[in-house]
């Protein structure tokens, strides 16, 4: 099947593309790619294209919208994000310990934060 052979593109709804450009471009450091349309902007994250678009339904997803598996770069990523003013979310989950802003479970380090519209973004020390 063709779909199984093509990379998927995460798609995130935002209320203001201008505000999203500051967050995704400046805070997260993603490179804009593709045509710059008035209500849509694509960003490159590794080899993945993330589509950010304006929608009245922005921020209504209660689950994780984007995940980055940053491997050994986890601690550095946390420091960089904090330095740019990112506030991390704290969740109460079974078998998970919260250590500052980092959730720990079975050797994994996990953190969640939100974009300006409330979309949940996750990073973990797995992968890479």
* pTM for this prediction: 0.87
**Stretch 88-102: mean pLDDT, rounded?**
96
pLDDT beyond 70 at 27: yes
Q: What is the DSSP letter of 22?
A: I
Q: What is the DSSP letter of 122?
A: E
Q: Are strands 120-124 and 64-69 parallel, antiparallel or unpaired?
A: parallel
**Stretch 16-25: mean pLDDT, rounded?**
94
Domain count, the chain: 1
CA 42 to chain centre: 14
Query: pLDDT exceeding 70 applies to what percent of the chain?
Result: 98
Phi and psi (nearest 5°) for 92?
A: -95, 105
Which SS3 state, helix, strand or coil, does residue 33 take?
A: strand
- Contact 99/46 with Cβ under 8 angstroms? no
Query: Where does the pLDDT of residue 6 fall: very low under 50, low under 70, confident under 90, or very high at 90 and above?
Result: confident
Q: Assign residue 14 the CATH number of its domain.
A: 3.10.180.10
Matching residue, tokens 């999203």:
20
Q: What is the DSSP string of 24-68?
A: IIIIS-PEEEEEEETTEEEEEETTEEEEEEE-TTTT---SEEEEE
pLDDT beyond 90 at 3: no
Domain extent, residue 18, equals: 2-124
pLDDT beyond 80 at 1: no
């Amino acid at each position: 099947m063709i779909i199984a052979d093509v990379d998927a593109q995460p798609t995130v709804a935002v209320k203001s593309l201008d505000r999203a450009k500051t967050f995704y471009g400046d805070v997260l450091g993603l490179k804009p790619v593709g045509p710059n349309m008035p209500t849509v902007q694509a960003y490159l994250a590794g080899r993945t294209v993330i589509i950010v678009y304006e929608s009245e339904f922005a921020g209504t997803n209660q689950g994780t919208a984007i995940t980055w598996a940053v491997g050994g770069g986890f601690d550095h990523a946390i420091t960089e994000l904090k330095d740019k003013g990112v506030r991390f979310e704290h969740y109460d989950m079974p078998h998970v310990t919260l250590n500052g802003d980092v959730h720990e479970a079975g050797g994994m380090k996990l953190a969640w934060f939100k974009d300006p519209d409330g979309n949940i973004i996750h990073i973990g020390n797995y992968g890479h």
